[in-house]
Structure 1
Amino acid sequence: MSAPVVVAYDQTPHSKRALAEAAREAVSRGTGLRIVHAYTTDERLPMGPFTTVVPTPDFEQTNRHDAEEILDEVAAQTRTEHPALAIETRAVPGDAPRAILAESSTAALLVVGSRGRGGFSGLLLGSTSQRVLADARCPVIVTHDTSCESKGQIMVGLDTDEPGAEVLEFAFDTAARRGTGLIAANVWSEPWTMSYAARRGDEDGVAYEQAHTDRLNELLGPWHRKHPDVAVVTRVHTAISPGAAGGCLVEASKDVDLLIVGMRSETGRRHANRLGPVTHTALHHAFCPIAVVPSSGVS
């Protein structure tokens, strides 16, 4: 069997949404689903203002048993919803991010909730998600605890200077598997003088903007020929103020089922993945799940 889709599950609303997204991905890929739950082995539990050692001789064994029961229950429910889906479960002791990352070397995709049990209500991206993104060796989908009606479209945000082949491959493959349209969006910051010139119909200003559209279409051409059934719409957004690119993608995320962005990956070092400002903004504010794809060609 091909590499599975791996999802982190901890009973929170965010992880339940992540599980639903992971099952959908596994079905569309024709691969298996692995549900991972990390359980504590630390006997020191907070009791009021103090940390107390719980005097239980079989502490770890008890926690493992509880974790396995949780996994058995959620796996049975998922099998009811997807009878043909091959599902395996893993109860892993210790740190949740470490447990999830250990799976990324053999996974086709990781799916995590934006926040876990320890998250604050106003924090949209929890520490576990951030640590997974920093070291994941495969694409990661981050979900929120909300679901909405399908829009039948996914979007990929591209930097035309360093687009990243991995990002484009993931985007076209996902659109082909889901049978949805693909919006390819590029947001670039232009000098305000060129913006005014294009608005006036000035020849140089119009040509300056058209060059970005031409570059985007050039990048998409080979992938569109590989996936001719994917309906592609290109959008070039202009952002006069610095830092507005992420906001443009966030606003556009209201109308799609998945937003795909890239992150630079440097092999051979810890915390090798670097989130750029656009990806960082999207992860914290987008209205739909975000797929983050490691790529050597993304800044």
Structure 2
Amino acid sequence: MDLPLVVGVDGSELAMRAVDWATDEAALRGLPLRLVYASLWERYEGAALAEGLGRSFEQITADAVVRAAAERARRRDAAVRVTTEVVPDDAVGALLRKGRDATALVLGSRGRGGVAGMLLGSVSLTVAARAHCPVIVLRGSHDNRARDGRHRRVVLGAGDPAHGSAAVRFAFEEAAGRGVALEAVRAWRCPAHEGAGHPLTAGGSERPHEQRAAEILDEALGSAAAEHPGVTVRRRTVEGTARKVLLDASAEADLLVVGVRRRDGHGHVGLQLGRVAHAALHHAACPVAVVPLRA
């Protein structure tokens, strides 16, 4: 059975834009779409009190939010299977649990009460840092479309080949589903003590650091490239910090894919986002897919 794409909705316009994007994504992948609204009305008002008074304002609001989101998704693409759910929990807890049985979670950059254009909201940031499935956060002016993206390009930030296969495969699947090119990027830097005139840098563009970046890139793509022969792959090694290189690349991408390492077990329950993923989620010019990698 195909696991659904799960979208967190709260009635905000950014959440509705996430519904649009996720509907396109579900159509591309042939997946069902589940729209989830988290509400604590029972906890705050009390089930008995709510029962005595009839439907509470919050319950009516929750039902209205998921109904409007479902109608929007069906207008977007009537062929996509849509279900809705109101979960009696806080937004982070609800989405993390639903993510255990999801292909991916899709979230707006900020929820109700947020200001468009500002930094990432706390719910999206926390879910991206802790979810067990990929989390797609809709950054930038993505014009609500997963299909027929403006740039016809998915960008992958290629990390450590020993841990990055999940992100690589996710990026290939996204590029294949859209019928667009995959641009795989690996940043590299020359240490300051190996500046001009140092023997290790005498080869100019053939410097060992750049060569090693190209080798890591080839290794990271590995079998996934062979499994997707129809995807055009553009390999790029760029001098600079990974954060800057990927943020620059996001300006001409329809989706940026980065991996984040998850450490299972006790002592690793906090936010588990590295500097690169954190910067991408706050500043990228396109939607960002954060794919968990097991350490």
Tell me, yes or no, if the aligned pair for 2:172 and 2:228 is still in contact at 8 Å. Answer: yes
> How big is each residue's C-alpha offset from its partner over 1:140-160, in whole Å with a ceiling of 9 and x where there is no partner?
000137334621001010124
> Counterpart of 2:225?
224
The partner residue of 2:286 within 245, 267, 288 is 288
> Counterpart of 2:252?
255
> Counterpart of 1:267?
264
Tell me, yes or no, if the aligned pair for 2:9 and 2:69 is still in contact at 8 Å. Answer: no
Report the 3-state secondary structure (helix = DSSP H, G, I; strand = E; otherwise coil) of the residue aligned with 2:41.
Answer: coil
| Residue 80, structure 1, aligned to residue 78, structure 2 | no
Q: Structure 1 residues 231, 42: closer, same or farther in 2, change over 3 A?
A: same
TM-score normalised to structure 1 length: 0.85
Report the 3-state secondary structure (helix = DSSP H, G, I; strand = E; otherwise coil) of the residue aligned with 1:274.
Answer: coil
Letter in 2 for 1:274: Q
> How big is each residue's C-alpha offset from its partner over 1:9-38, in whole Å with a ceiling of 9 and x where there is no partner?
112222122112211221111110000112
> How big is each residue's C-alpha offset from its partner over 1:29-62, in whole Å with a ceiling of 9 and x where there is no partner?
11100001123417979xxxxxxxx999638644
Most deviating of 112-121 and 285-294: 112-121
Report the 3-state secondary structure (helix = DSSP H, G, I; strand = E; otherwise coil) of the residue aligned with 2:85.
Answer: strand
Q: Structure 1 residues 59, 210: closer, same or farther in 2, change over 3 A?
A: farther
Alignment of 1:1-299 (within 5 A): 1-41=1-41, 58=53, 61-119=56-114, 123-144=118-139, 146-148=141-143, 150-160=150-160, 162-192=162-192, 194=194, 196=196, 202-203=202-203, 206-208=206-208, 209-239=210-240, 244-269=241-266, 271=269, 274-297=272-295
Q: Structure 1 residues 55, 203: closer, same or farther in 2, change over 3 A?
A: closer
Q: Structure 1 residues 201, 207: closer, same or farther in 2, change over 3 A?
A: closer
Most deviating of 267-276 and 122-131: 267-276
CA shift for structure 1 position 204: 7.6
Letter in 2 for 1:79: R
State the distance in 2 between where 1:26 and 1:121 align. Answer: 25
Letter in 2 for 1:294: P
State the distance in 2 between where 1:10 and 1:137 align. Answer: 22
State the distance in 2 between where 1:44 and 1:290 align. Answer: 34
CA shift for structure 1 position 96: 1.2
State the distance in 2 between where 1:291 and 1:229 align. Answer: 22
State the distance in 2 between where 1:29 and 1:227 align. Answer: 15
State the distance in 1 between where 2:163 and 2:244 align. Answer: 19
CA RMSD of aligned residues (A): 2.8
State the distance in 2 between where 1:108 and 1:164 align. Answer: 18
> How big is each residue's C-alpha offset from its partner over 1:181-223, in whole Å with a ceiling of 9 and x where there is no partner?
000001122213545359x982387241223213312332321
Q: Structure 1 residues 273, 263: closer, same or farther in 2, change over 3 A?
A: farther
Report the 3-state secondary structure (helix = DSSP H, G, I; strand = E; otherwise coil) of the residue aligned with 1:2.
Answer: coil
State the distance in 2 between where 1:160 and 1:101 align. Answer: 26
Q: Structure 1 residues 161, 192: closer, same or farther in 2, change over 3 A?
A: farther
Structure 1: segments with no counterpart, 5+ residues: 46-53
Q: Structure 1 residues 28, 156: closer, same or farther in 2, change over 3 A?
A: same
Most deviating of 188-197 and 130-139: 188-197
State the distance in 2 between where 1:163 and 1:55 align. Answer: 49
> How big is each residue's C-alpha offset from its partner over 1:232-281, in whole Å with a ceiling of 9 and x where there is no partner?
00111112xxxx32022111101000000011112245636611111111
TM-score normalised to structure 2 length: 0.86
State the distance in 1 between where 2:263 and 2:36 align. Answer: 26
State the distance in 1 between where 2:12 and 2:43 align. Answer: 22
Most deviating of 14-23 and 35-44: 35-44
Q: Structure 1 residues 55, 19: closer, same or farther in 2, change over 3 A?
A: closer
State the distance in 1 between where 2:175 and 2:71 align. Answer: 29
Report the 3-state secondary structure (helix = DSSP H, G, I; strand = E; otherwise coil) of the residue aligned with 1:230.
Answer: coil
